[in-house]
Amino acid sequence: MKAIVNGKLITPGPKGEFRVEQGKVVVFEDRILEIIDKSEFEARGRNSFEEVYYAQGQYVSPGFINLHIHGCAGSDTMDCREAGLHQMAIFQLSTGVTSMLPTTMTYDMPRIYEALKLVRQGKSYKEGARILGANMEGPFISESHKGAQKASNIRKADFTLIKDYSDVIKLITIAPEELPEGSDFISQCQKAGIRVSLGHSSADYDCAINAINNLGVTHVTHLFNAMTGLHHRNPGVVGAALDSDAYCELIADNIHVAPGAQRIVHKVKGTDRIVLITDSMRACGLGDGESELGGQKVFVSGQKAVLEDGTIAGSIITMDKAVHNYAKNLNISVWQAVECATRTPARAIGMDKELGSIEVGKLADFAIFDENVHVSITIVAGKVLFLE
C-alpha cells in the first residue's frame, strides 16, 4: 500500500460539491483503497506502507483530464508518429494531466485513420498520461466555421467512414446543419459508445437545440469559437449551449474566451457542465516562433497563436494554467475550478465511475500542486510518473 500525507485533499462533499479536507490521508495501490484520518495513519505506522508521499501542505487533486489536445512539446496527433504521441503523453504529466484524448483534425481520411490507429496503440502506453481514446474534430464540419481546419478536406458525416474505429473514438465533432437529410449518424455514434459534440458549425438556434435535445448531441466543442454566436434575435449555437444540459468546452487562456464571457458561462452552466480543455497544438511548451497546425503555418507570440491570415489557431495553454486562470477569472476557489478539469470531463465521456474524483474504488490518479497550480507530483494508477 501507498499513501499521501500532509496534503489538502480535494474530494466530493456530502452533496457532491468539491471541497478541501485537511488531516486526511489517501491510501492506494493502483486504485484508491481508503481515505483515513492522519491519526490512524500514525497509529498504523510508516512501515505499514510501501511508499509514502508528503504533500507539504499542497493540494492533492484528482488527476486532470484533457479531452481536447492536438499536440504539445513539438508533436501533434496528426504526425502519426509513435514517438511523438508518447512525447505528448509524457509532457502532459508535468501539467497534472493523467488522462487525455489526443485529437485529430480535418485531414484526408487515410491520414485520419493512421492517426486513429496510433491512438488505439497508445491506449497501452504506461509511461505517460493515460490515453483514453481519440477526440475526432472534423472532417464532418461546416466550411463557413472551419476555423483553423482545412476546407478542402471537409466531408459529409457518414458513419461507415468511422465504424471500424468506434473502439477508439470517444468524442466526435459535427456540424448538425451539414448532416444529410434523414441521417442517423448521431444515433449510430450513440450505439457505438461515441459521444457527439456540436462545433465548427453555422447552425441557428433551432437546429442546434434540436440536435442537443432530440438527436443526442451531448457536448459543445470549444464554446464561442467556430460557431454562430449569441444574438438576442438568433441565439445561435452559443445560445443552444447555454439553454441546454450540454457539456461545454472552454479554452481558459483568456484569448479564445474573455474572462467576462467565462464568468457568464459559469453562472449559467456551473462547474458540473463546464469542461476545461487546452486545445493545444505542437507549439505548446516551446515558446515564441513559427509552428504548424493541420498543414498550415502558425505564428506564436506570448500566449497567442495565429494562422498567416490572422485567424486564431489552437491554443498553447496547459491544463494547470487553465485551472489557475479559471479560478482567478471567476474569483472561485481552486478546488471548484479543479472540478471542471476532473470530474466533469470524466462525466462528459461516461468514465466518471473510474476517473475524475478522489473516492474509494476509483483509479489512483493524482496531481499535487500549490496555490498557483504549479504541479510537483503526478501519479497515474498509483505510480509516480512525474516528480519535480
Largest alpha-carbon pair distance within the chain? 67
Angstrom distance (rounded) from CA 214 to CA 110:
32
279 catalytic per annotation = yes
Evaluate whether 169 touches 113 at the Cβ level (below 8 Å). no
Classify 193 in phi/psi space as left (phi over 0), alpha (psi -120 to 50) or beta: left
**Number of residues that make up the chain:** 388
For 164-182, give one letter per residue: b (16+ CB within 10 A) or e. Answer: ebbebbbbbbbbbbbbeee
Angstrom distance (rounded) from CA 76 to CA 292:
9
Angstrom distance (rounded) from CA 189 to CA 196:
7
Cα torsion 136, 141, 143, 147: sign: negative
Q: First-to-last CA distance in the chain?
A: 23
For 8-41, give one letter per residue: b (16+ CB within 10 A) or e. Answer: bbbbbeeeeebebbeebbbbbeeebbebbeeeeb
Can you tell me which residue has the cell 483530464? Answer: 65
Q: Which of 76, 79, 253, 279 is catalytic?
A: 279
DSSP 63: P
Which positions are annotated as active-site residues?
A: 279
